[in-house]
Structure 1
């Protein structure tokens, strides 16, 4: 059974609250009596895209499970690539693995089997990214697991809140799907949902130009589904005839238009527990998703920890 844990929207800002909510979720995953096929993080890792925020993320995102993390609209590509992923050169080279890519960069656990972002050199895939544009280029990554492929596309548009898969990213995705053996399902992930979720604010900054992705999916039947974040609410719909599954937010939860608000700008719950998704890919290619909250309780000093 292939199980992928899916987190999104950590919004680490150097403070205690965001870090401890993320820590509660990561501790929950580390305590599972099961080996996950991957731990996917679909963007907005940092709140302001600052190097110090990626240092914070680098310390947190260390796991015994393979980790694959991509950027969102709050992230800054150059700092994301160099500080979080530890890539000194163009994206996707096999020698630019994340913190756990070698034994001397294993993070707190101190060994190469404690995977950080990018997990290991093979988490970058044969090319890792279709472009060689340096730190400012899209951060595209692929993880080829046992019986599945996870292609993480960079849907961020530098300096903007909406999303778009640019020509380089779409070409990279097509190449990675084409290189996948017949019968092996491909899950495509990114930050921005490519379909409306019926929340006006989120729909105004979703992924646009989605017709090009839909056309690619029509050419590539091995794509089993699409995974994203950005909305800070768990959601399930379809796109291009496949499941489109939206991970809840770790840092906060969106108030839906039909839910009560104290005032017009009261758009998120800050007091609800962090949450994540578990995607289960069965042998017949069917994708099942479970959403799970992780209760937290305050500890002395304002920290939180799993209940």
Structure 2
């Protein structure tokens, strides 16, 4: 069994002086998320960061992110979103051999597969340089197919930044995963994939792709307003920040919990 926590859309932002203000909203929110995660009765085996970790893709933002995550004792697996800079992220997480590959070209996709307890976590790069939407090229899809084919009997979680299913919020669907058909085709060939997890949406949602449950994660900072009308309003809300926790059994049963940030202690026993 494996417990994988998911933090997403952190958006640490440096000011004009290059400093990340410790009193800023994203910093305070991330500290609260880390504290909430550490307070869970069952600590996760790993934490995956599903993109938009920095707001401007600046080295100072990733350095501060790395420091703010240092209280977490478990493995941390970062991946980029449309706000991120791959090279700056790689440099900040230089102590992570799965993320840092010195043989790749500048701005090469950040994509890797790791084992978390008895589960496999496959992190895909859906970002498109200079654009907010997501896409996976034929080369990236071939990599994913090979990564999944390497462990066909191991329950697997596939992580992306852009969700491969429509959300219904116009603002987000305008920055959608463009043409996810190739991605769906690859997933359909690998029945050991028990969950697809994504960020980008700044709120929890559940969909499906190729018969596999697909979820998005709340932001550790700001949640987007749930307006399913058209054209709808692009706005953030005062809803609680949060994160996701994915439980995957050895048999491949997967359950996802959306956890609001905060120290919510038990009020009373119920049995």
Q: How high is the TM-score relative to the length of structure 2?
A: 0.87
Cα distance in 2 between the residues matched to 1:48 and 1:167: 28
Residue 158 of structure 2 corresponds to residue 188 of structure 1: yes
Structure number with higher relative contact order (C-alpha < 8 Å, ≥ 6 residues apart): 2
Secondary structure of the corresponding residue to residue 143 of structure 1: strand
Aligned with 2:241 (options 254, 270, 274) = 274
Cα 1:169/1:266, change in 2 over 3 Å: closer
Asked if 1:284 is matched to 2:255, the reply is no
For residues 146 and 266 of structure 1, the distance between their equivalents in structure 2, rounded to whole angstroms, comes to 40
Q: Give the aligned partner of residue 69 of structure 1.
A: 78
Match of 2:133 in 1: 162
**1:194 CA drift (Å):** 1.1
Counterpart residue number, 2:114: 143
Cα distance between partner residues in 2 of 1:7 and 1:29: 10
Shift of 1:133: 3.7
Q: Secondary structure at the match of 1:176?
A: helix
Q: For residues 157 and 132 of structure 1, do their structure 2 counterparts lie closer, same or farther at Cα, with a shift above 3 Å needed?
A: farther
- Partners of 2:78 and 2:130 in 1: CA distance: 20
RMSD: 2.0
Matches within 5 A, 1:102-141: 121=97, 123=98, 132-141=103-112
The Cα of 1:283 is off from its aligned counterpart by 3.1
Which 10-residue stretch deviates more, 29-38 or 210-219?
Answer: 29-38
Question: Which whole-Å deviations, capped at 9, do the CAs of 1:23-51 have from their partners, x for residues lacking one?
Answer: 11112222334231211110000001111
Given that 1:81 and 1:135 are in contact with CA atoms closer than 8 Å, whether structure 2 keeps it comes out as no
Give TM-score scaled by structure 1 length: 0.77
- How many pairs does the alignment contain? 252
Determine the C-alpha separation between the residues in 2 that align with 1:40 and 1:233.
Answer: 16
Deviations for 1:188-226, whole angstroms, at most 9, x for unmatched residues? 101001111111110111111211111111211121121
| Distance in 1 between residues matched to 2:233 and 2:180, nearest whole Å | 29
Q: CA separation in 1, counterparts of 2:31 and 2:250?
A: 32
Structure 1 CA distance, aligned partners of 2:162 and 2:106? 21
Structure 2 residue runs of 5 or longer lacking an equivalent are 14-19, 264-271
Q: What is residue 268 of structure 2 aligned with on the other side?
A: none
Counterparts of 1:193 and 1:170, CA distance in 2? 15
Deviation at 1:284, TM superposition (A): 2.7
Listed as ranges, the gaps of 5+ residues in structure 1 are 87-96, 99-120, 297-307
Equivalent residue number for residue 56 of structure 1: 64
Q: Which of 143, 150, 153 is residue 172 of structure 1 equivalent to?
A: 143
Give the equivalent residue in structure 2 for 1:6. Answer: 6
Structure 1 residue aligned with 2:49: 41
Q: Residue 21 of structure 1 aligns with which residue?
A: 29
